[in-house]
Amino acid sequence: MTPEARDVLLVIDVQVDFLPGGTLAVPKGDAVVGPVNRLLGLFPHAVLTQDWHPPGHVSFASSHPGRAPFDTVALAYGPQMLWPEHCVQGSAGAALAPGLAADRAELVIRKGHHPGVDSYSAFLEADRRTPTGLAGYLRERGFTRVVLCGLATDHCVAWSARDARAAGLEALVVADAVRGIDRDGSVERAWGDMAAAGVGRIMSGAIGGG
């Protein structure tokens, strides 16, 4: 494919805490930076997301005495997996990955900032009711297709891609420009769920200049 005027590149959560050495490191998460930078050079329009939690966020295991990271707890909006503290607003770990060629991005959308609600998705928070505003932004700008890359395949990328479809957008995930956390087969499951939602899969080598 060749990026067209209707296309926007959506770069999900390429942040220090999700890279090796970070508090919620995605295995080989740093391997996405090269392909993502190439894509940033090819797409005329790009939007980035940043996971952006206040201290004491409900998704942190440390906010639930007696619980450990990767436990699941029942919250009012449903089951919530607990995580190590990560991407705390303004912290070094919340910064975009050094070396990410992000200068031309037209919007950075920050998500997960409500203290009591998580948000994997760039579109809709985990209560499945609170919009981030991204769907309206993309609609107003006339974009009809999102091409997704970044971290993590099985959480923020998958939920963003599925919600893009629910928002009436075409969605493609760049398979070699994403990496997953992958617990208990979650990456394979995420690809199945995305396919069922009509999300396409493409390799970055199949994307070129016009």
For residue 192, what are the contacts with CB-CB under 8 A and spacing of at least 6?
none
d(CA 51, CA 18): 10
State the pairing for strand pair 78-81/72-75: antiparallel
Q: How many residues bind ligand VGL (CB under 6 A)?
A: 9
For residue 169, what are the contacts with CB-CB under 8 A and spacing of at least 6?
135, 138, 143, 144, 145, 146
For the question of residue 149 being annotated catalytic, the response is: no
Taking the complex as a whole, the smallest distance from the CB of residue 170 to Zn ion amounts, in Å, to 26
Place of tokens 């440390």: 62
Given the rule CB under 6 A, which of 89-97, 151-159, 185-193, 198-206 is the region that contacts ligand VGL? 151-159
Taking the complex as a whole, the smallest distance from the CB of residue 101 to ligand VGL amounts, in Å, to 19
R_g of the chain, CA atoms, integer Å? 16
Pick the catalytic residue from 7, 111, 149, 154: 111
Asked if 51 is part of the footprint of Zn ion (rule: CB under 5 A), the reply reads yes
Given the rule CB under 5 A, which of 43-51, 68-76, 92-100, 179-187 is the region that contacts Zn ion? 43-51
Residue 35 parent element (H or E) = helix 33-42
Which residue's CB is nearer to ligand VGL, number 120 or number 191? 120
Given the rule CB under 6 A, which of 32-40, 68-76, 130-138, 149-157 is the region that contacts ligand VGL? 149-157
d(CA 128, CA 123): 9
Which residue's CB is nearer to ligand VGL, number 59 or number 204? 59
Asked if 85 is part of the footprint of Zn ion (rule: CB under 5 A), the reply reads no
Could you tell me if 64 and 57 are in contact, meaning their C-beta atoms sit under 8 angstroms apart? Answer: no
For the question of residue 111 being annotated catalytic, the response is: yes
Catalytic residue annotation: 13, 111, 156
Binding residues vs ligand VGL (CB under 6 A): 13, 18, 51, 83, 120, 151-152, 155-156
